[in-house]
Chain A
Amino acid sequence: MSNIVLQVENLHTSFFTRAGEVKAIDGVSFYVREGETFGIVGESGCGKSVTGLSILRLLPEPAGQVTEGKIILEGKNLLELSKKEMRAYRGKMISMILQDPMTSLNPVYTVGDQIAESVRLHQDLPENMVEAEVVSALRLLRIPDPEMRIKEYPFQLSGGMRQRVVGAIAMSCRPRLLIADEPTTALDATIQAQYIALFEDIQAKTNVAIIFITHDFGVVSRICDRVGVMYAGKILETAPTREIFKAPKHPYTAALINSVPQLDKKDEKLFSIEGQPPSLLNLPPGCRFYPRCTVSMDICKEQEPPEVKLDDNHSVSCWRVK
């Protein structure tokens, strides 16, 4: 087994609003190994993106705060670093790709400038080597004619190409951990497939650990080695991707997988989970999925289910699983 790059332990993140404390992440633990892709799947608002931002310590301050837990990157707890030390980690050790390629590049600087900025910041290179490094980052993302592209502005590129440039910025300093926050959601289906193939390629070349945040189980099946299913600020089930598709243990996981449209089943109504996720402002006691669960029991209403380890890689929080 290869080394663990990132270990998140019992992470709690809250937003302190006028209405009260919103517990966006309520005790999340997971790890990612070198060269592995860990997927975080869930509905919008479940805390997927906040998890990513918590790791980078880029929560919107002062409202967003990590209140408890550890985020350990290669032996260092990121939460104990000073602001300056944390900055040195960003872009160099950890990087992130955001969802919308149309808005995540600065419109007034060239592609080359925006990549070179990261290179200059984190790598002690003589100025005449910077451009070569920028070109190599573009090559890594399989961007055609990189020497030409560096002089272009974002508005001259297509959406798919822009997302590759974002990837090139993220990978320019060969980080140990890449957080991809719905990187394919805004892309066309065909471009999406290419982009996912690109991820596999990059990972094979650089051995980077990837956290892949998505709401799409279809994408998960294609890229993730292991998955954490997140619901209302908590990971309800963690398992290897194949296992979770074959035999989901948590009713929520099963329902999510069921809602992926299947091409081979004709004339069937699309499956959907009834109801809405609970308000994170004051969570009811008991299991947070209880109100929407079709197989709930009495105990689910009163007590939160503990995490049960089925084996080294598979854990579930559900009273039905013993």
Chain B
Amino acid sequence: MTRFIIVRILQAIVALIGIAVIVFFLVRVSGDPMALIASPNMSEEQYQKIKESLGLDKSWGEQFWIYIKDMARGDLGESLIREKPVTTMIGESMPNTLKLTVPSFVLSMILSFFLGVMAAIYRDSFWDQGVKFLAVLGQALPVFWVAIMAVLIFSVYLEWLPVAGMSTPAHYILPVGTMILFMLPGMMRLVRSSMLDVLDSEYIKMARIKGLPERSVIWKHALRNALITPLTIIGMLLPSLVLGAVISEQIFNWPGMGTMILQATFERDFPVVQSITMLTAILVLGINLLVDILYAYIDPQIRYQRA
């Protein structure tokens, strides 16, 4: 298992280097930030000076080398627009994003497992139909539209919930709800179908033959087997968590990393875009590794293959 983890970490490092290269050149292809910074009445001399101070006069190759060297030292550079170190900016916005994403993620997982398992146990019941309806609805409606409608209904017309901001717990309801809507439907359907497969199996019949109460049959024998497929998907779900954060933060004016990266992209603020992308990549790779370890814990066959 240790060997497996080491190999996976090395693979992750290779992936990160690849991502760094792609992001670095991709943002530069998007356009020259000087075009946004410069004002029409600036002299040629001033223009050159600013360009030099931002390091934009150097070739892309040189810039890349500096970027990698600084990153290795933990220096993410300075924002081209805000003249603040990127680490400071991330330090301010990351906690806000975490306050939004962590509860959303945890809640959607708990909900999707609970609802999915229930739908499978009471297959074709009113309950199951309800879950199916919810899943289809959630997947068919664009989440940003639902969020805007929710603001319109609950905040504007009914005035039950605040429109934007993050000062009270009530402020969390709509943004977290939006993110749950992003992750819940797919996961719930997957848990349902995975659970149905398992419930149909012979070893579940055996568990009943043993005289086990239904509670143990479901939560001990069935769920652990039914977890294997959805768990793999959790790793793949993370990008949609990031996407959900960007959309949700934008709609609810949440001062997090999603808002920050969106602004930075429009402003061609290279260091900020690069840093947030890298950070997201590290997060996704890290959690994927965690999922793989969990996977081995749940399924002994995988544990033995890796030993």
Contact = CB atoms under 8 A, between A and B. Distances in A.
The yes or no verdict on A and B being binding partners is yes
B241 to A, nearest CB: 28
B300 A90 contact: no
Contact of A107 (B207, B213, B225): B225
A91 B209 contact: yes
A117 interface: yes
Contacts of A210: none
Interface stretch (A92-100, A214-222, A235-243, A273-281): A92-100
Interface string A100-133: 1001111111100000011001100000000000
A109 B204 CA distance: 13
A134 interface: no
Contact of B221 (A106, A110, A122): A106
Contacts of A90: 208-211
B299 A108 contact: yes
B68 interface: no
B44 interface: no
Given A103-B203, A106-B203, A58 B301 contact: no
B202 A104 contact: yes
A170 B221 CA distance: 17
Contact of B304 (A100, A117, A156, A169): A156
A274 to B, nearest CB: 34
A121 B201 CA distance: 22
B206 interface: yes
A155 B213 CA distance: 26
Nearest to A86: B211
Interface in B184-238: 201-203, 205-213, 221, 224-225
B211 A92 contact: yes
Given A100-B202, A107-B301, A155-B301, A95 B209 contact: yes
Contact of B299 (A88, A95, A107, A118): A107
A107 B210 CA distance: 16
A166 B304 contact: no
B81 interface: no
Nearest to A100: B202
Contacts of B207: 106
A284 to B, nearest CB: 33
A139 interface: no
A277 B279 CA distance: 67
A156 B205 CA distance: 21
Contact of A103 (B201, B211, B212, B224): B201
Nearest to B297: A108
B298 interface: yes
Contacts of B211: 87-92, 118, 121-122
Contact count band on B: 20 to 34
B298 A105 contact: no
Contacts of A117: 210, 212
A225 B251 CA distance: 77
Given A100-B202, A107-B203, A56 B300 contact: no
A245 interface: no
Contacts of B298: 108
Interface in B256-307: 298-301, 304
Nearest to A94: B209
Contacts of A110: 300
Nearest to A106: B203
Contacts of A105: 203, 206
A108 B225 contact: yes
B203 A104 contact: yes
B212 A121 contact: yes
A98 B206 contact: yes
B302 to A, nearest CB: 10
Interface string B68-91: 000000000000000000000000
Interface string A73-94: 0000000000000011111100
Nearest to A90: B211
A170 B211 CA distance: 11
B231 to A, nearest CB: 12
Contacts of A169: 206, 210
A30 interface: no
The residue in A89, A92, A95, A117 that gathers the most chain B C-beta atoms within 10 A of its C-beta is: A117
A153 interface: yes
Contacts of B300: 107-108, 110, 153, 155
A204 B224 CA distance: 38
Contacts of B299: 107-108
Interface in B114-129: none
Given A91-B211, A92-B211, A106-B221, 18 more contacts: A87-B211, A89-B211, A90-B211, A91-B212, A95-B209, A96-B209, A104-B202, A104-B206, A107-B225, A107-B299, A108-B224, A108-B299, A108-B300, A109-B221, A110-B300, A118-B210, A153-B300, A169-B210
14 contacts: A87-B211, A91-B211, A95-B209, A100-B202, A103-B203, A104-B206, A106-B203, A106-B225, A107-B225, A107-B299, A108-B300, A118-B211, A166-B206, A169-B210
